[in-house]
Amino acid sequence: MMERNFVRDVSHLPTHGHGPSNLTWWGTIGFILIEGFAFVLAGFTYLYLMMQFQHWPPGMPPPELLWGTLMTVLLVLSLAPNVWAKRMAEREDVPRSRIAVLVMLAIGVLTLVIRWFEFTVLNVLWDSNAYGSIIWTILGLHTLHLVTDVGDTAVLAVLILTKHGKDPRRLGDVTDNAMYWNFVVAAWVPIYALLYLLPRAV
């Protein structure tokens, strides 16, 4: 009876990867699906409440445009350095990946500063009425995503700038972080339309 050898040498295979070949990529996809659904539920709640009133927002002006528009412009423009960060990581260019992570960290911190001012011009408090509650909830959810990504990018920056940056797995983390930031930007565009433009159109 012929024996079959089921053992194979895989030592030549890479110990890290990008995209679907990376386990954390799948985890990030899971987070995006769950958190994206939360945004959808909050958005439908906003629309449901809007249909209950003849005038929207009820008895108050909509949020001022300045800070929300600045946030939108910054987030859209941030896609360029974010794509660059992803490409440098995929090319395993550690020096440029370090620069890209620091650039994205600076952008993330700037978005938090803008968001702080954005909360001051909503023209309603969270406990004023149902409109105030939902607009603060939606903006709060997105702020939580900004804080999460900035915190993750800060940790990643520390790792990639130290001896841990020589670990190829850190470059996989850069690509996953870039994907999550794309989600944060993509989520904001309909939120901006919902909170800032829709009230001015109805």
Could you read off the pLDDT of 111-165 as tens digits, one per residue? 999 999 999 999 999 888 999 999 999 999 999 999 999 999 999 899 888 776 5
> What dihedral do alpha carbons 96, 151, 107, 18 form, nearest 10°?
40
The pLDDT assigned to 66 comes to 96
Asked if residue 169 has pLDDT above 80, the reply is: no
What is the CATH code of the structural domain delimited by 21-201?
1.20.120.80
Nearest Cα to 95, choosing from 155, 171, 5? 171
Question: Residues 139, 195: contact at Cβ < 8 Å?
Answer: yes
Residues sharing a CB contact under 8 Å with residue 120, sequence separation 6 or more, in sequence order: 67
C-alpha of 18 from chain center: 19
121: its two tokens: 């011009």
The C-alpha atoms of residue 43 and residue 47 are separated, in whole angstroms, by 6
Question: Domain spans of the chain?
Answer: 21-201
Asked if residue 12 has pLDDT above 70, the reply is: no
Could you read off the pLDDT of 34-91 as tens digits, one per residue? 888 899 999 999 999 999 888 889 988 999 999 999 999 999 999 999 999 999 888 8
Residues sharing a CB contact under 8 Å with residue 44, sequence separation 6 or more, in sequence order: none
The pLDDT assigned to 82 comes to 95
